[in-house]
Amino acid sequence: MSFGYKTILAHFDSTERAGRRLQAAARLADAHDAHLVALYSIMSPLYSEPFVADGGAFVAQELLRFQERKDAEARAAFDRLLPTLGRSVEWRSETGDPAAVVNEHGRYADLIVVGQYDDDATNDVTPDFIGRVIMGSGRPVLVVPYTGEFATIGRRPMVSWNASREAARAVSSAMPLLRQADEVQVTTFNARAGRGGHGDVPGADIATFLARHGVKANVSGTSSKEVDIGNQILSRTDDFQSDLLVMGGYGHSRAYEFVMGGATRTILESMTVPVLFAH
């Protein structure tokens, strides 16, 4: 059970989106009186460019210089941003596979903050980065969309509840945010009442659980055979004007890659508000 965020770890990279991500993490750290860590780790061009072996030492040296420039530019961007945050931030930098680096450092944090992958822009991580962090860190992961400004995160959260282990972990992991919220909405999707699932009244048991933690939640349900659950979740998040979505993260490993579940994949591709995942 989580009783508060005392350490928040934010992934930092050389993209323009990194600054907004760190600003969001700083606001959360302020709200929870937490220590904030900015962890810089990006995919090295030596590993991402397949032609290095054919180009010889010269190409490798050029790529190393390019890496050094990116590293220096990212640190300079952090230094420019730091005074605007109005708080101290611990800087860490480590080479290697970014997902593995974040997972290692993240196990000593209460919350990990990462950015949504943008298919239409330059990224410093691989497309499976977020999935690997959700599945492998053992910590709740807050994913910040690559577009938009988020002045508040968690004042009007929506919990996507399906009575699963992952959803239960997400609710407990989000409890520090839920306790501070102005209004909490719990929504079930295509829920079936009965033993082994949602109980006699879908959503009632989790609402009782939240009430015992001092969280008053409104409960609603929606069902549709024509619309997949991922898009139902996105639609209801918009209907409630939520500034945070809380849900379980689902997936499995296959042939050295992580394959995310259908609803999780839809949310990761099309999110419009920050999403707290737990696996």
Q: What is the pLDDT along the chain (279 residues), one digit of tens a residue?
A: 446 899 999 999 999 999 999 999 999 999 999 999 999 999 986 665 555 555 567 667 777 888 899 999 999 999 999 999 999 999 999 999 999 999 999 999 999 999 999 999 989 999 999 999 999 999 999 999 999 999 999 999 999 999 999 999 999 999 999 999 999 999 999 887 776 677 788 899 999 999 999 999 999 998 888 899 999 999 999 999 999 999 999 865 554 444 556 899 999 999 999 999 999
pLDDT at 223: 85
CA gap 170, 118 in Å, rounded:
24
Q: pLDDT at position 58, please?
A: 67
| pLDDT computed for residue 257 by the predictor | 45
Determine, yes or no, domain membership for 47.
Answer: yes
Range of the domain at 174: 157-278
Q: Looking at the domain assignment, is residue 106 inside a domain?
A: yes
* CATH code of the domain in which 53 resides: 3.40.50.620
pLDDT at position 115, please?
98
Domain boundary among 114, 144, 174: 144
> Quick one: pLDDT at residue 95?
92
**Do residues 118 and 28 share a domain?**
yes
In this structure, the answer to whether residues 169 and 85 fall within a common structural domain is: no
Total domains present in the chain: 2
Helix (H) or strand (E) segment spanning residue 74 = helix 52-85
Does residue 187 share a domain with residue 126? no
Q: Which of 241, 223, 275, 259 is nearest to 113 (CA)?
A: 275
Are both 124 and 15 inside the same structural domain? yes
Query: Which of 117, 144, 171 lies at the terminal end of a domain, its last residue?
Result: 144
* Cβ–Cβ under 8 Å, residues 157 and 174: yes
Within a domain: 152? no
Q: What is the pLDDT of residue 67?
A: 87
Are both 130 and 249 inside the same structural domain?
A: no
Note whether 138 and 167 are same-domain residues: no
CA distances from 11 to 8, 122, 273 (A): 10, 16, 18
pTM for the full model? 0.91
